[in-house]
Amino acid sequence: MQCTKYEKSGTTNGRFIFLFSELNPDWGSGREKWLKTEALSFKKYDVLEPIFRVVDQKMAVALDSGCESIITSAIAARKPGTRVRSYAATDFMAREQSEQALLKLKMYNDMGLDTDGKLVFFINNAGFVGEYDIDGKQIKKLDKKHDMTDFGKRFNPLNYYTPKRYLEFVKRDIKERTEFLEDLFKGQEGEEKLKDIIYVWKKCKIPSEKEIKDFYGYWSVV
């Protein structure tokens, strides 16, 4: 790990990268593994920013098409604490979003995104866990002590949320992402062909509270 120390504020910025097995050494035991490694990047003591690889073409298009960002309420001139989303795509294809999405789907299908494919689709900074509750209020002060031990305990989401509360984030995210894509492609040519992409998240199996507790409860933090 390489850290940068800021003299004026006295803060330190760094990155930790390790495997899911740090959170649960039994992860994937006895199951077929499609990926050998997954990476997690942590900015602060209780902020988690996952990096993950996408091998499903429709999910990749959904993520690529929904390059929205949450901007501050101050920039948007909204009530403090309001969640404001802004379209922030980085490509410059001069076509409707629906046509872009269909072209990307063809490319991902042709080239392949799985472990034998010719493309690697990674998502970085997909979210954070631990600093705020579902209403955007801070729930825990940042820990000032940083070291290189006990990653599994420090970054375990059950330190900050109950399994039920954790699932509330999941369900809200699925709802918001689906509504965003519905609005993005609404009225555009090819909208009907994109239904599987628009509603791809609703087809995902959401784990139960018990499954979440069984997985993250390895460290007995709840």
**Pairwise CA distance, residues 200 & 177, whole Å:** 10
pLDDT score, position 22: 62
Residue 131 CA, distance from chain mean position: 15
More confident residue, 188 or 9: 188
37-48 tens-digit pLDDT: 444 444 444 444
Strands 121-123 and 47-54: antiparallel
124-180 tens-digit pLDDT: 665 555 667 777 777 765 555 545 556 566 667 887 889 999 899 889 889 988 998
What is the pTM for the complete model shown?
0.65
**Pairwise CA distance, residues 175 & 203, whole Å:** 12
Residue 181 pLDDT > 70: yes
pLDDT score, position 53: 81
Confidence of residue 64 (pLDDT cuts 50, 70, 90): confident
Which residues on adjacent β-strands are paired with residue 85? 70
pLDDT score, position 45: 43
pLDDT score, position 173: 86
